[in-house]
A and B are shown apart, each in its own frame.
Chain A
Amino acid sequence: MSVIATPARQSTGGISARTVNRIVIYGLLALFALFYLMPLFVMLVTSFKTMDEIQNGNMLALPQAPTFEPWLKAWGEACVGLTCAGIKGYFWNSIKMVVPAVLISTLLGALNGYVLTKWRFRGHTLVFGLMLFACFIPFQSVLLPMATILGSLGRFGVTLRNATGLSFGLGNPTVNLVFVHVVYGLGFTTLFFRNYYEAFPTELVKAAQVDGASFFQIFRRIMLPNSMPIFVVTVIYQFTNIWNDFLFASAYAGTGDAMPMTVALNNVVNTSTGVVEYNVNMAAAMIAALPTLLVYVVAGRYFVRGLMAGAVKG
């Protein structure tokens, strides 16, 4: 939509009503930009200040003697609970959890979307509806049973390891989280791909069938090569969601070495021993935010489209 601004009324004085209008609009927009930027700005400058400066200086002032010390400390020395080895281990935990979870759920979503649009069967809407509703449930309503199941799988893993020497990942908190995120991410990835493939010309599939391509050949040769945009959207959406998750992380890997970044950050910030090192906290928060911020900066367009696809169907 192109808005045609109110035509400038006949101005008698020096400044027309239109100019005043524009000044007000830009002023408001700038004010809100400040509102959105302020917390990030404060976090950023604080993370480069010494503790001295924080206690005696102004929150909004730029660091007088910028130091990387807090970042290094957050990365390598900060205390998470009782262990003081920084958050680097937890950062890698998150990576190890996010990458497989994103890949698996995206691929399954693509297959599901393909079946639900191009190989329809009686009741396909119901199947999709049931999967879609799963996106919206409060995860509290599945938290406990999942904990129970993961617990018994873990015990089974121990038995298995005692018997065979291998546990096949059963009981490993990272594997558990990958599983949980795949299960509860399927609804979203299926939604994305279904909506994308819904608009994908069915004649292409028919042509490929006449050409003799099988179910999987059509998927691999025709659908996937033409799915780049929705792949990017889905991967970004899943990456952001899983990286930022706190509920599952704290419930299934809330303690110990396997905890993901979000839980570790919360522990760093809430560690009550000794003096609270705000600059280290802020640096840790920045590190936790960096991957998703980076994705946002690099692929903002797709990021927004992903969020929208999750919100508005069709």
Chain B
Amino acid sequence: MTTVTTQIKLTPEHGARPDVSMRSRLQDALPKIVLAPSFAITIVFVYGFILWTVYLSFTNSKTFPSYTLTGPRAYQRLWRWTFESDPPSSWYTSITNMGIFGFLYIFICLALGLFLAILLDQKIRGEGVLRPIYLYPMALSFIVTGVAWKWFLDPGLGLEQTLHQWGWTSFHFDWIKNKDFVIYTVVIAGVWQASGFIMAMFLAGLRGIDGEIMKAAQIDGATTFQLYRRIVIPLLRPVFLSAFIVLAHLAIKSYDLVVALTSGGPGGSAWLPSNFMYEYTFKRNEMAVGSASAVIMLMTITAIIVPYLYSELRERPR
């Protein structure tokens, strides 16, 4: 920090004294000095570590890291497992689950979020009560979400049991224990957690639309349905994009939910690639394979995020 000069009138001689210029040069560099640690941390602990992980994926690391390169063997194994569907390999299960979960989770969240936002935007009395009810699950951790839904979906204790007691004895709902359906319970819990937030995003988008456009469309004779389909939803395009990005990256990161809700499901049938990575790296002592799967996850998310970030940052030149 500079010393505060008490002088008000300055010495009139020409040129700066050397110590002054030294100090002013320090002043000039200060912003960069302040930013440097954070930037260095990011470079080392994010990008450096990513490279490290990439390196590990080309070794034959098992329980402990090994630094002898052995070529893309881990990737070859993953590639082979990708097509091993009968009986399914863990990797096959993980990526198919990712496909099912990713698609349903993103699609249902977007649809439900938009639907609820439009309903809430109809001058609803009690909006102030409903909105926080839809949104609160986002405050809970995946672990708590998982615990709650695990109980709710348990055939012996939860919904099935309750309906049996109410007299609907033929009702049968055991997806959480069924290896073919367990992934759909993850979708249910995931949608429950995130859809309220997506609703809030859409609602903010709706409230940001110029009211005069709506009035103009009504004068042009548009019905409410046409109004939304032709005017409002197209105007919400940026919100769709942001919501998609948020959901996609939440989906790929989802790990805790599977653990807490299903403990991996019967025979690992609920695994996502993130669970695969964790299990192979820390439990099955296949560090190279785990690293390779992490690299694949990273590349997937990069393909989605980088174009988005690029356009976001480029749109606002200084």
Contacts and interface: CB of A to CB of B under 8 A. Distances in A.
A33 B123 contact: no
Interface stretch (A85-93, A156-164, A302-310): A302-310
A304 B239 CA distance: 15
B154 to A, nearest CB: 9
A215 interface: yes
Interface string A253-279: 000000000100110011000000010
A10 interface: no
Contacts of A190: 38
Contact of B139 (A1, A212, A245, A303): A303
Contact of B143 (A125, A139, A246): A246
B69 interface: no
A254 to B, nearest CB: 9
Interface string B118-143: 01111110000010111111111111
Contacts of A212: 4-5
A293 B38 CA distance: 31
B197 to A, nearest CB: 6
A39 B242 contact: no
Contact of B35 (A32, A111, A134): A111
A3 B290 contact: no
B309 A300 contact: no
A86 B298 CA distance: 38
A142 interface: yes
A266 B260 contact: yes
A39 B35 CA distance: 44
Contact of A251 (B152, B157, B282): B282
Interface in B284-318: 287, 290-291, 293-295, 297-298, 301, 305-306, 309-310, 312-313, 316, 318
Contact of A308 (B204, B224, B238, B281): B204
A313 B46 contact: no
A33 B133 contact: yes
B194 to A, nearest CB: 10
Contacts of A116: 35
A247 B258 CA distance: 12
A289 B224 contact: no
Contact of A4 (B31, B151, B218, B298): B218
B245 A133 contact: no
B1 A216 contact: yes
Nearest to B241: A312
Nearest to B276: A140
B170 interface: no
B118 to A, nearest CB: 9
B122 A25 contact: yes
B66 to A, nearest CB: 12
Contacts of A99: none
Interface stretch (A53-61, A63-71, A170-178, A227-235): A53-61
B138 to A, nearest CB: 7
B256 interface: yes
Contact of A1 (B38, B151, B208): B208
A51 to B, nearest CB: 12
Interface in A209-242: 212, 214-217, 240
A92 to B, nearest CB: 17
A1 B309 contact: no
A39 B1 contact: no
Interface string A140-181: 111111101000000000000000000000000000000000
A146 B49 contact: yes
Contacts of B31: 115, 119, 121, 215
B120 A141 contact: no
A206 to B, nearest CB: 15
Contacts of B148: 39-40, 42-43, 285
B201 A311 contact: yes
Contacts of B301: 136-138
Interface of B: 1-2, 4-5, 27, 30-32, 34-35, 37-39, 41-43, 45-50, 52-53, 56, 65, 116, 119-124, 130, 132-145, 147-152, 157-159, 161-162, 165-166, 192, 196-197, 200-201, 204, 206-211, 214-215, 218, 223-224, 232, 238-239, 242-243, 245-246, 249, 252-253, 255-256, 259-260, 263, 274, 277-278, 281-282, 287, 290-291, 293-295, 297-298, 301, 305-306, 309-310, 312-313, 316, 318
15 contacts: A2-B211, A5-B224, A32-B116, A58-B162, A59-B162, A111-B35, A121-B31, A137-B298, A138-B297, A214-B27, A215-B34, A246-B259, A247-B278, A278-B151, A289-B141
